[in-house]
């Protein structure tokens, strides 16, 4: 059985090649993909390409770009078996996490990838990333069911659940990693799918729905020894601010001093959501482990468990954009919605 895949190019390094005449980097024309990579014809997939305009460096991505991308996938959902999104690496984990929350009833693969070296440069990592992402997006079992029906991110031999990833290196070709959830697939000579780690939808025939509202009234406060009450109060009193991701130390620990606890307590009493995420890459928040975490729990700070900062921010933006009932927001923070954390 052949699969049909839609490749969506949004921008980023992967889409560049060297102009042989001038030696400068110029955009690569993905619509001519078979001419550039004739070997793609050997994969059992039919490819079509759409380029989002304008093509952007992912550092310029804003929530409205997530909506445009999700709408394009929704519009084409019935026509294709899977989707490959080519995206700049800088904010790829944010976009991919956001899409994971936006999609309701997703039962087809949406594989994000990109590259550290432009695709048209000889030593590129983009060619392998692209070809393997296509193969994964088209992979299905004997009954024709997709092998990875969720939002994933493929980079340098590993397929990850997208909302578990973080860009860990500006230099290494293995730029992404998932510290708290095993890879969905490891790629060597063969692609070894980790079937037990991959989400299986309850149904495969539901229409794809998308949530299109994001609240931008969210910010991040990263703790450091030397943070002052003035800075903390300044941020917490920003007009209209609804939620704060508190990047704490270790297993979710923070100063126990009144100057720190009181402003947070007052903000929570005013209705602010405060979500505790650790600054550590691996492991998660356990607020009942130390006195320094317990104080936060007692004043009503929510645990973010082992969520990435990218998942935490986009989940809050999604929840606050679509839900207004504080009790439901609290409930949705305590439950993984798309496998974004493990308790
Ligand atoms: N600045 C680029 C981007 O994120 C980097 C990349 O694609 O790797 O769009």
Q: Which residue, 29, 33, 28, is CA-closest to 5?
A: 33
The DSSP letter of residue 335 is: S
Q: How many CB atoms lie within 10 A of CB 200?
A: 12
Q: What is the pLDDT of residues 98-109, one digit of tens each?
A: 999 999 999 999
Q: How far is the CA of 119 from the centre of ligand 1 (A)?
A: 12
Report the distance separating Cα 25 and Cα 19, nearest Å: 6
Asked, for residue 342, whether it belongs to a domain, the answer is: no
For residue 335, pLDDT over 90 is answered with yes
Q: What is the pLDDT of residues 300-331, one digit of tens each?
A: 999 999 999 999 999 999 999 998 888 899 99
Task: Establish whether 53 is a catalytic residue.
Answer: no
At which of 175, 210, 245 does a domain end?
210
* Same-domain status, 321 and 229: yes
Q: How far is the CA of 156 from the centre of ligand 1 (A)?
A: 16
Question: HSE of 315 in the Cβ direction (CA atoms, 13 Å)?
Answer: 28
At which of 210, 231, 257 does a domain end?
210
* Same-domain status, 177 and 71: yes
* Same-domain status, 294 and 187: no
Asked, for residue 46, whether it belongs to a domain, the answer is: yes
Residue nearest to atom 8 of ligand 1 (CA): 89
* Same-domain status, 187 and 313: no
Asked, for residue 258, whether it belongs to a domain, the answer is: yes
| Cα–Cα distance list, 192 to 7, 144, 156, 198, 340 (Å) | 23, 18, 14, 12, 22
Q: How far is the CA of 178 from the centre of ligand 1 (A)?
A: 19
Q: What is the pLDDT of residues 232-265, one digit of tens each?
A: 999 999 999 999 999 999 999 999 999 999 999 9
Distance of CA 237 to the CA centre of its chain: 29
The tally of domains found in the chain comes to: 2
- Which single residue is written with the structure tokens 């095993």? 182
Instruction: Name the residue range of residue 262's domain.
Output: 218-333
Average pLDDT over the chain reads: 95
* Same-domain status, 164 and 287: no
For residue 196, pLDDT over 90 is answered with yes
Q: How confident is the model at residue 33 (pLDDT cuts 50, 70, 90)?
A: confident
Asked, for residue 340, whether it belongs to a domain, the answer is: no
Report the distance separating Cα 15 and Cα 28, nearest Å: 5
Asked, for residue 339, whether it belongs to a domain, the answer is: no
What is the reported pTM?
A: 0.96
> In a mutational test of the pocket of ligand 1, which residue from 16, 90, 113, 121 has the highest number of ligand atoms less than 8 Å from its CB?
90
Q: Which residues of 34-67 are buried (b: 16+ CB within 10 A; e: fewer)?
A: eeebeeeeebebebebbbbeeebebeebebebbb
- We report the CATH number of the domain holding residue 191 as 3.40.50.1170
- We report the CATH number of the domain holding residue 281 as 3.40.50.40
Report the distance separating Cα 231 and Cα 217, nearest Å: 18
* Same-domain status, 202 and 222: no
| The token pair that represents 95 in the structure block | 């976009």
Asked, for residue 249, whether it belongs to a domain, the answer is: yes
* Same-domain status, 222 and 199: no
Residue nearest to atom 3 of ligand 1 (CA): 88
Which amino acids bring their CB within 6 angstroms of ligand 1? 11-13, 57-59, 88-90, 114, 116
């Amino acid at each position: 059985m052949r699969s049909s895949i839609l490749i969506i190019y949004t921008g980023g390094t992967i889409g560049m090649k060297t102009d042989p005449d001038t030696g400068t980097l110029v955009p690569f024309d993905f619509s001519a993909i078979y001419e550039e990579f004739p070997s793609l014809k050997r994969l059992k997939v039919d490819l079509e390409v759409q380029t989002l305009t304008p093509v952007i460096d992912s550092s310029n991505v804003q929530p409205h770009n997530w909506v445009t991308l999700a709408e394009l996938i929704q519009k084409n959902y019935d026509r294709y078996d899977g989707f490959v999104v080519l995206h700049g690496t800088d904010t790829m984990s944010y976009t991919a996490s956001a899409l994971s929350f936006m999609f309701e009833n997703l039962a087809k693969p949406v594989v994000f990838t990109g590259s550290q070296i432009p695709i048209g440069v000889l030593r590129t990592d983009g060619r392998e990333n692209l070809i393997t992402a296509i193969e994964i997006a088209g992979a299905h079992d004997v009954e024709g069911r997709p092998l990875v029906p969720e939002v994933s991110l493929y980079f340098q031999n590993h397929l990850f659940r997208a909302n578990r990833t973080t860009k860990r290196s500006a230099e290494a070709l293995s730029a992404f990693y998932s510290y708290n959830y095993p890879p969905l697939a490891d790629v060597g000579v063969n692609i070894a799918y980790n079937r037990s780690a991959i989400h299986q939808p309850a149904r495969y025939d539901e229409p794809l729905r998308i949530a299109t509202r994001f609240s931008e009234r969210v910010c991040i406060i990263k703790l450091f020894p030397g943070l002052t009450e003035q800075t903390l109060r300044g941020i917490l009193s920003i007009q209209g601010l609804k939620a704060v991701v508190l990047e704490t130390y270790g297993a979710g620990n923070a100063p126990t001093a009144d100057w720190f606890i009181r402003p947070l307590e007052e903000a929570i009493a005013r209705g602010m959501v405060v979500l505790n995420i650790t600054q550590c890459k691996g492991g998660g928040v356990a607020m009942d482990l130390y006195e320094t975490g317990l104080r936060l729990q007692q004043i009503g700070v929510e645990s973010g468990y082992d969520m990435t900062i990218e998942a935490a921010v986009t989940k809050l933006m999604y929840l606050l954009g679509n839900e207004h009932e504080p009790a439901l927001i609290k409930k949705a923070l305590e439950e993984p919605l798309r496998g974004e954390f493990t308790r």
